[in-house]
């Protein structure tokens, strides 16, 4: 199994380029099968989750070519409503294929999707929206069968679920009449999906707010689209730069997508500038003085992203004082803390949702294990800070969400290498 070997306490310098957003591309790719002609999607990150999604789409007949972060999808031969069961079990985000399949065929069969073990993530919210759209649902031998063309009307989500919002949008775009989605999530990736669909001929308004309106159309055509920058990847490297007190340029980015993160980082003493380069914006970190502890609570957008909670905890081990981290989204997202404690961090898990961190503590290199995508990134940051050598196992998780993390970090001065591939 592949591992990272990292010798810590190196200053970083230079530029880290941010890829397209994983959580946008994973929805835009399946949305492309709704068209009657090929689409070209650029700025696709080269990560394993994207590879799995592409294989799932191929399993239902899509012809897909990829080169240099560009995917060309020809939906002309999509003829199956039964995506590959084994592939679906490897990717939680594969649930968003169900909306397009129902819109296209009025029929979908699938098993429970897989993904990171970061807490309970039932598909009940998805099934609920499909029932509201008139879909008949049955479950037999662990396999769901959904039958019926989605009907327009008012849909009320149980909570601000990103993927349920996206499934509702994709299910509704070809439904005659007006569909109104209430209690919709407002993440930028949802707005990017709606932008892609509108380029295809859909009529969607309000994406990025909690009320989305969709006027059904009879057909969609292929288009070209550039996936927006990955705010989580940008935030991860931004935190890595601050944790190592390094001067790094990180981008391209859309600064407003990380407003609350920037506010919290600046509150703890980080020095961050937003600079323009060739019409795009980048973060530029500057050396700072002593960091101080800051509390966070994760929320749906525009709140503090749950995907940056674990990197922020690693940063708080290097800040003076006590910070409280309130994880409101997932109850299993503190698995990485066991590894941080092994490295010398001082933290107390108060509940499955609350951890108290005491800093500043000296981290020491150890052999540790990544157990999910974002927790793995947090451990990489810890290894960059730690004294001595750290071995990080479980790179298959990190590779799911970060393209060439070792190469990007090595290019800016980190002493990191991948071994055992």
User: Do residues 134 and 83 both lie within one domain?
Assistant: yes
Is residue 20 within 8 Å of 49, Cβ to Cβ?
no
Tell me, yes or no, if 116 is annotated catalytic: yes
What is the greatest pairwise CA distance in the chain? 63
* Cα radius of gyration (the chain): 21
Which neighbouring-strand residues pair with 251? 17
- Do 146 and 238 share a domain, yes or no? no
Q: Report yes or no: 220 and 201 within 8 Å, Cβ to Cβ.
A: yes
CB atoms within 10 A of CB 233: 27
SS3 label, residue 396:
helix
φ, ψ of residue 216 in degrees (nearest 5): -65, 145
CB atoms within 10 A of CB 4: 26
What's the structural domain count of the chain? 2
How many contiguous H segments (helices) and E segments (strands) does the chain have?
14, 23
The bridge status of strand 224-226 relative to strand 247-253 is unpaired
| Res 118: pLDDT | 43
Q: What is the pLDDT of residue 67?
A: 96
Residue 142 burial (CB count, 10 A)? 8
Q: 409 and 325 in one domain?
A: yes
In whole angstroms, how far apart are CA 180 and each of 72, 155, 200, 207, 382?
Answer: 31, 6, 20, 11, 45
Do 386 and 284 belong to one domain? yes
CA distance 302 to 293: 22
Domain edge (last residue) among 208, 226, 244: 226
Instruction: Assess whether 221 and 235 both reside in one domain.
Output: no
Decide if 386 contacts 364 (C-beta within 8 A). Answer: yes
Residues 182 and 140 in one domain: yes
Q: How far is CA 312 from the centre of its chain?
A: 16
**352 and 301 share a domain?**
yes
**pLDDT score for 142:** 82
For residues 169 and 209, the answer to whether their CB atoms sit within 8 Å is no
**Residues 380 and 6: beta-carbon distance below 8 Å:** yes
Question: DSSP alpha helices (H): ranges in 268-417?
Answer: 309-316, 337-342, 373-385, 395-401, 405-411
Q: Minimal CA–CA distance to 311: which of 273, 259, 272, 264?
A: 264
Residues facing residue 178 across a β-bridge: 215
Structural domain including 128 reads: 22-226
Query: Are residues 309 and 218 located together in one domain of the fold?
Result: no
CATH number of residue 39's parent domain? 3.65.10.10
Helix axis angle, 124-132 to 162-172, nearest 10°: 30
- Angstrom CA distances, 126 to 121, 159, 163, 173, 376, stand at 11, 11, 8, 16, 28
> CA 283, CA 326: separation in Å to the nearest integer?
26
CA pair distance 360, 346, nearest whole angstrom: 9
Whether residue 34 is found in the same domain as residue 171: yes
Looking at residue 122, its pLDDT comes to 67
Last residue of a domain, one of 178, 205, 226: 226
What is the reported pLDDT for 114? Answer: 56
Measured between alpha carbons, how far is 288 from 270 in angstroms, rounded to an integer?
6
Distance CA(188)–CA(315), nearest Å, equals 25
Asked if residue 182 and residue 67 are part of one domain, the reply reads yes
Please, which residues bridge with residue 40 across strands? 72, 224
Residues of the chain with pLDDT under 70: 113-122
Residue 203 CB contacts under 8 Å (≥ 6 apart), including other chains: 214, 215, 216, 217
Residue where a domain terminates, one of 205, 226, 247: 226
Which of 19, 116, 180, 268 is labelled catalytic? 116
pLDDT of residue 28: 98
Say how far apart CA 124 and CA 143 lie, in whole Å. 14
Clarify whether residues 120 and 208 are in a common domain.
yes
**Strand spans (E) along 22-177:** 39-42, 63-67, 70-74, 107-111, 136-140, 143-147, 154-156
Q: Are residues 296 and 415 in the same domain?
A: yes
């Amino acid at each position: 199994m592949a591992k990272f070997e990292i010798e810590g306490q190196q200053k970083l310098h230079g530029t880290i380029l941010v890829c397209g957003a994983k959580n946008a591309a994973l929805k835009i790719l399946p949305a492309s099968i709704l068209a009657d002609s090929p689409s070209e999607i650029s700025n696709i990150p080269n990560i394993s989750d994207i590879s799995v999604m592409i294989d799932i789409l191929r399993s239902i007949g899509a012809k897909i070519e990829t080169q240099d972060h560009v995917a060309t999808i020809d939906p002309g031969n999509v003829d199956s409503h039964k995506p590959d069961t084994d592939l679906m079990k490897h990717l939680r985000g594969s649930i968003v294929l169900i909306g397009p399949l129902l819109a296209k065929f009025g029929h979908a069969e699938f098993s429970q999707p897989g993904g990171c073990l970061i807490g309970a993530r039932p598909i009940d919210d998805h099934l609920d929206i499909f029932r509201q759209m008139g879909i008949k649902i049955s479950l037999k031998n662990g396999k769901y069968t959904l039958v019926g063309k989605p009907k327009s009307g008012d849909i009320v989500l149980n909570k601000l679920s990103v993927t349920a919002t996206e499934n509702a949008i994709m299910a509704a775009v070809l439904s005659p009449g007006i569909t109104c989605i209430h209690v919709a999530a407002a993440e930028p990736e949802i707005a990017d999906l709606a932008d892609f669909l509108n380029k295809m001929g859909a009529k969607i308004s309000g994406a990025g707010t909690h009320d989305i309106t969709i006027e059904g159309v009879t057909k969609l055509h292929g288009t070209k689209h550039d996936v927006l920058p990955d705010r989580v990847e940008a935030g991860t490297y931004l935190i890595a730069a601050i944790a190592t007190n390094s001067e790094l340029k990180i981008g391209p980015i859309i600064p407003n997508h990380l407003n609350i993160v920037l506010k919290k980082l600046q509150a703890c003493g980080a020095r961050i500038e937003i600079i323009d380069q060739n019409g795009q914006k980048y973060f530029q970190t500057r050396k700072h003085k002593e960091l101080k502890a800051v509390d966070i609570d994760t929320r749906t957008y525009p709140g503090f992203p749950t995907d940056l909670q674990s990197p922020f905890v690693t940063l708080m081990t290097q800040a003076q004082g006590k910070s409280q981290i309130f994880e409101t989204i997932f109850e299993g997202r503190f698995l990485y803390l066991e590894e941080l404690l092994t490295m010398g961090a001082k933290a107390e898990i108060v509940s499955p949702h609350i951890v108290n961190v005491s800093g500043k503590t000296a981290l020491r290199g150890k052999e540790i294990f990544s157990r999910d995508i974002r927790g793995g990134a947090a451990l990489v940051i810890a290894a960059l800070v730690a004294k001595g050598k750290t071995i990080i196992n479980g790179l298959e998780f990190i590779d799911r969400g970060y393209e060439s993390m070792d190469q990007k970090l090595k290019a800016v001065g980190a002493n990191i290498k991948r071994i055992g591939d």
